């Protein structure tokens, strides 16, 4: 019997999810309704944040965050080159410049040394913010980052890391999204992420004023009567405040709203987050045990002691040159065997747009990580037998002897 194709990732949707969406389709509200607020409240509660602001995508969340903080022309933002394009692109949408940071070649994460180097390269540029990226489900050491940035705005791109825990200043672990050491955190709810809304994103923060600003910016910058402060309403020069239909736009905003349909799916998915994280971590642990037995040129990512991960991707670091096979050939041969893989990511600073803008940058950690990384299938619908199958196929393609029964410690 032909074995099923294993994509590198995919969503897991059950009948509860389908029924949740169906209820909204039968209701009076398809968008700007009660499900959005409920999703935001439940998400904020899940990550122990005071506020959550739903957006149409993680990219939109980043863009809103930069604009809400007044980041624009003449400003710069430091962020790692080992990330998806959106982290940097959103800076450019706001009109600011990107300063790319290097990363650890064995984790893909930036650290304090990389941040200092990037800051030194920035010379006299106005660094308005630093955006760290929690890659693959592991987290940057936020204590070190906050120490380095001082009073500069610090954001967390946690699109990969919903459900992870991170170290605080007392040696305890807090939830990613709690914003204990950052000004705000953004998440993605794309289908391959920890939970999905189809497309979507979320911002969490503990700043009430920022949350209010973000909600206005995501809907064209519009304020309605319920958004006005007591000072606004006391302004005798504007009698229109009292008109029930009145609204005003003081800032140029966007349409980054999330619908009730998407939010209903998010609420249902959020109930399963703990199970999804547990399943992903179990599968990734199995991968780690196997990958450590494939010889000196294949290994899993190095583990970060400052966090408890919520694995989004299972990345193998493979020295393709030493083994004598190209990554393209490995990907093609695995696909023939019914196994999908991917590369996360092509370094952003190597993209033509950014090379043309900033010239050629030497980021050795990023280059080394990129040259070896290969994302193996990882999603909650898999089981341990699927992992064994993937590793067996990978070993065969790489020409490595492998026996799954002997890869576990007694």
Domains and CATH numbers, the chain: 15-270 (3.40.640.10), 274-406 (3.90.1150.10)
pLDDT in tens, 380-390: 999 999 999 99
Per-residue pLDDT of the chain (410 residues; tens, 9 = 90+): 568 999 999 999 999 999 999 999 999 999 999 999 999 999 999 999 999 999 999 999 999 999 999 999 999 999 999 999 999 999 999 999 999 999 999 999 999 999 999 999 998 789 999 999 999 999 999 999 999 999 999 999 999 999 999 987 777 899 999 999 999 999 999 999 999 999 999 999 999 999 999 999 999 999 887 777 665 655 656 667 778 888 999 999 999 999 999 999 999 999 999 999 999 999 999 999 999 999 999 999 999 999 999 999 999 999 999 999 999 999 999 999 999 999 999 999 999 999 999 999 999 999 999 999 999 999 999 999 999 999 999 999 999 998 876 555 43
Question: Distance (Å, rounded) from C-alpha 337 to C-alpha 315?
Answer: 19
Question: Distance (Å, rounded) from C-alpha 146 to C-alpha 130?
Answer: 10
Question: Distance (Å, rounded) from C-alpha 129 to C-alpha 75?
Answer: 9
Q: Does the active-site annotation cover 193? A: yes
SS3 207: coil
Which two three-digit tokens encode residue 26? 């039968």
Alpha-carbon distances of 78 from 82, 89, 202, 203, 219, rounded to whole Å: 12, 12, 21, 19, 28
Active-site choice (42, 143, 173, 193):
193
Which contacts qualify for 364-367: CB closer than 8 Å, 24 or more apart? 364/102, 364/105, 365/102, 365/103, 365/104, 365/105, 365/114, 366/80, 366/81, 366/82, 366/102, 366/103, 366/105
Instruction: Note the residue count of the chain.
Output: 410
Which two three-digit tokens encode residue 202? 């979320």
Supply the angle between the helices 260-270 and 15-25 in degrees, to the nearest 10: 150
Q: Which pTM value belongs to this model?
A: 0.95
Rg of the chain taking only CA atoms, in angstroms: 23
CA atoms within 13 A on the CB side of 229: 5
Question: In which element (H, E) is residue 351 found?
Answer: none
Residue 342: φ, ψ to 5°: -155, 165
Q: What is the DSSP string of 236-284?
A: TT-GGGGSTT-EEESS---B---BHHHHHHHHHHHTTHHHHHHHHHHHH
Question: Distance (Å, rounded) from C-alpha 280 to C-alpha 382?
Answer: 9
């Amino acid at each position: 019997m032909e074995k099923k194709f294993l994509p590198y990732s995919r969503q897991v949707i059950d009948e509860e999810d389908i029924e949740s969406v169906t209820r909204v389709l039968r209701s009076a509200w398809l968008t700007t309704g009660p499900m959005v607020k409920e999703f935001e409240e439940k998400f904020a509660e899940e990550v122990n944040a005071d506020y959550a602001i739903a957006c149409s995508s993680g990219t939109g969340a980043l863009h809103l965050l930069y604009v809400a903080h007044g980041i624009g022309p003449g400003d710069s933002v430091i962020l790692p080159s080992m990330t998806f394009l959106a982290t940097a692109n959103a800076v450019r949408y706001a009109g600011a410049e990107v300063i790319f940071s290097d990363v650890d070649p064995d984790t893909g994460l930036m650290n304090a040394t990389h941040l200092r180097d990037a800051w030194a390269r920035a010379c006299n540029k106005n660094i308005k913010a630093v955006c760290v990226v929690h890659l693959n489900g592991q987290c940057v050491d936020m204590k070190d980052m906050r120490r380095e940035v001082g009073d500069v705005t610090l954001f967390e791109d946690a699109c990969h890391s919903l459900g992870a825990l991170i170290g605080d200043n007392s040696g305890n672990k807090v939830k990613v999204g709690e914003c204990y050491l950052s000004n705000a955190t953004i998440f993605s709810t794309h289908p391959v992420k920890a939970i999905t809304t189809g497309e979507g994103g979320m911002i969490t923060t503990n700043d009430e004023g920022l949350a209010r600003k973000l909600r206005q910016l995501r809907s064209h910058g519009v304020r309605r009567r319920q958004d006005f402060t007591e000072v606004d309403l006391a302004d005798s020069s504007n009698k229109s405040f009292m008109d029930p239909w009145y609204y005003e736009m003081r800032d140029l905003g966007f349409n980054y709203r999330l619908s009730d349909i998407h939010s209903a799916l998010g609420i249902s998915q959020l109930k399963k987050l703990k199970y999804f994280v547990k399943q992903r971590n179990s599968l990734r642990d199995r991968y780690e045990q196997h990958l450590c037995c494939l010889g000196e040129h294949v290994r899993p990512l190095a583990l970060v002691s400052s966090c408890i991960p919520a694995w989004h991707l299972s990345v193998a670091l493979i020295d393709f040159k030493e083994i004598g096979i190209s990554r393209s050939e490995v990907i093609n041969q695995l696909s023939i065997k019914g196994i999908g893989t991917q590369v996360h990511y092509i370094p952003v600073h190597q993209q033509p747009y950014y090379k043309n803008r900033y010239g050629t940058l030497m980021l050795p950690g990023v280059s080394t990580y990129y040259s070896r990384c290969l994302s193996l299938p990882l999603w909650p619908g898999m089981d341990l037998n699927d992992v064994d199958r993937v590793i067996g196929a990978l070993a065969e393609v790489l020409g490595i002897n492998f026996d799954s029964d002997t890869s576990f410690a007694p």
